[in-house]
Structure 1
Amino acid sequence: MYKVLLVDDEPMIREGLKTLIPWEELGFRVIDTAVNGQDALQKCGQIVPDLMIADIRMPGMNGLELIKTVRTMSSNMHILILSGYADFEYAKQAIVHRIDGYLLKPVDEDELAEYLLKLREQLDMEYASQDQYPEVRTLEWDSAVQDLLLGDVSLSSGYAELERRFPWSCYEVVLIKHLPNGETQTVLPAMIKNKLKETFDEQERGIAFSLEPYIGIVVKDGLKDEQKLNSVYHDILAASKEHNLDFFAVSGGEVFSWSDIAISYRRALELMKNKFFLDSGSITQSSNPYPIFIPAAEQNQNLDELFGAATETLYLALEIGNLPASRQLIQNTAEVMYRCGCKEDEIKTRFVQMFSTILDKLTHNRSEMHSLEIRAGLLESYKETRYMGLIERLAAIAEGMANSMENSGTDKQIKRMIDVIHRNYGENLKLEKLAELFNYNSAYLGKLFRQATGEHFNTYLDKVRIEQAKTLLEQGLKVYQVAEKVGYANVDYFHTKFRKYVGTSPTGYKKM
């Protein structure tokens, strides 16, 4: 049976044609119907009909536009068009696109049957000239593969012929998922599949197929070595680059009969679920997916605590201007989240929250920070389709935040360190942490700090905090509120420090 696709925006005409014509008696079978030109293009790529019957007048993409586009996908498809009397002259324009004829509405059943008989004779001759096996001359191999991938050998009328025609040593399913590039995507998958059919089917290296939303290849004799893996990847790359499309490619591993290719397909689907974490530039194989290590300690780690510490450290790294430390921190934090089982959306959301918190702190005393632009860039991070792409974007945002502060500071490390203390006295500042971010030994940095200020680091920090505490007490804040704001988690410890530097208790100071 030859495959037919009916295309008309009127349901009554679609159903009428489908039911009133004795299709199978004439050697045809209506495989599917389409409601408009865009729908027809998508289905042409999936089912590859032998004959398309399409209305010339449809909303959106009309019949002429549909035929023009179909001819870029398939030069062999037969086409009949339907038109009303008012469209008769318009319909004749389609002749230049090699249509097989046109029928006036309402369709005369006998006239259509006569067309179909002539087309059947022509199709018989075309398939005979291609030297296809007589019993499977109307069979499209990709359709047979689609049925097998659904997991039921009995669904595939071509299973026995696949076994006989392609007795390979093994079979390996490669799935390809293309990423949108902002342009219309209706016709591109079909065009890419046709390119892959030229590369694999016609060269007897495999069979290309479509199974929405994927394009796939059953690779002859599997991806046995690195050379073949790279060769197949570059063939996919070449077909995709013509249309400027990025893609993910995964393999389900080898199986040893056509009846088992659904197993390879399911393995590939499992890999595709984590496509965000897959590397670009290669086909990820089921035997070698992106590494997943989930140490027990990290499984039980509280992610909120992790992000609190990471946010604090990243904030200080940006204050200091240590971009390598910032990048490494971003990457390490993402790795821990991944190993703890976080999915793509959660990773992105937590990073946006982290950067928003840091931005609020950095802009508090800085009018020069372009916070709206930075926030807009943060939202764009949700569009990243790859894990490493997200890391790169966040590192670039961090670099932009650090660069926007360059004019307000100094290159001298100790002065920058003092600046950090005066702006962040309420944070959990430790000499060891700052030394790491400044790329110094902590003892050496402490010595440099004492030489420049005449004070030990902790003493200088305490004095800055106490001076700020006096101001807050004068404003009427309660003692425990002041202690928290200036960086003392323990109120009793705050009392001790305050009395040491002021000579009286915080309460006594309020009464003075």
Structure 2
Amino acid sequence: MYKVLVVDDEPLMLEGWKTMVDWHACGYELCGTATDGEEALALIRACDPELVITDIRMPVLDGIGLIRAMKEMGHGAKTIIVSAYSEFSYAQHALRYEVDRYVLKPLMTDEIHSLLLDMAASLEECRQTAASSRKMQADAAADAIVGLLGNGGPAAADTAARLLGVNERTRFRLMAAESIGESGESESGKSPIAVLMKTLTEALIIDGMRAWIFEESPGLAGLLIIDNDLNEEQFEVWLEETVVKKGWPPQELAFYCSETAIGLHSVPNLYRQALEIRSRALLGSKAGIYSYRERKVTGQWNLEDMTAYVRALLQAIESNDLPGIDRSVDELVGLFGKSGAEESLMQTAVRHFRGELLRRYAERGATHREASEWLHQLLDGTESADIASWTSTSLKRLSVKATEQFTVKEKPARANSNAITEAIDYLKQHYREKIRLQELAGRFHLNPTYFGQQFKRETGHSFHDYIHRLRFDEACKLLRRTDMLVSEIAAALGYHDTEYFTTKFKALSGELPSTYKSKRQG
């Protein structure tokens, strides 16, 4: 989909652009509308459109002024001028600023559809050129960073500074990552860890940070990050939440985070910190997030003991052994006291414990998003998100709450099976409504984790996939048999976002709803 911004000071014209043009069928997404040039410039910075369609006569800043401002800010979107004025002077102004097309009002829907389809080839060429340029820049930056790690001296530092756009006052952090037990390639032909690092780079940019991927040794990807206001612990929390949010299995990934330091001359040392963490006992073969800060503070790591006590605590939770929970937490806290570094090891243990809870909950049939939501529900204001403030009392309280999700109450197998069947029947009647797995499980008095497992066993699909499939079947009927708009069908089926509905529909059918409709009704 090519992103489009439409600018016109006439409300009726804007409404016409929204309703008369079948953007999706032409391969476009209307990402915004504006009523003058200044408002349009703000939207251009926010949504970065690939095509801007603008009226020529507008208050505040007209179409020609808007295009001139776009050129000055270096934005390369294609442009179409729309005007009710056919005087040659306007066309001359438009051509001066390399406007791609000049269209006169009144507009005809077929004409606009034809124009959009005609421009698709040049837009795709621009997209490919930009992607190629970004790849070349990324490759050059990666080579410069690797050269820096090889102690390339002042020349390597100067090259890196120029390519990265940094100076001697820039503060950096560095992270290395690898996939535990990684094998093969993804569908894109890249290793899973390379795909993950690209995803993390994009997430960092969205959150106002900058980062560059590099690979100094096979299988170990690095990320050089311009530091912002996040301290080490806050960055690790961001990293954990982002990995879960993006759907990557935390139990299959290992991250090694350095301290922060100022200047490119510090980068080789930051990388050595990451490698040192990786070389510690167990870290090269066990998933998790590990920081040089913790190694520096604790001095002597007792990871074997710590992971053993956490494992015992998790076993007590899963077996609903309340005395065992008390005993395991007390032993864990006792370990901190013996180490002489109670605060740092407590934070390490809590992070490891939290990650293991997420992993085990996900293994019981929940999606990673559901697992993350479940953990936030466990906290529910009773525990601080700042793990530095956790105590043995809060850890015990959290563990007891977790037993409610991991413990399946004894029920006759036939009764459980009947409850799942009733739940499926209920969904077939109410799939248009907003239904949460936890709420439906509660309706039939079942543990949510157990319910999710049994539901998938009965249907062959996860809870959410099953709902989408029910909605998809109904959407197909409505598209074939009615004249309802795609947006109306999306709303009728419980989707508040038409774009999200379109994405789900295409994932199941291989085509857009509008394409499906035209083929079946044509």
TM-score (structure 1 length as normaliser): 0.31
Please tell me whether Structure 1 or Structure 2 has the larger radius of gyration of its CA atoms: 1
TM-score (norm 2): 0.31
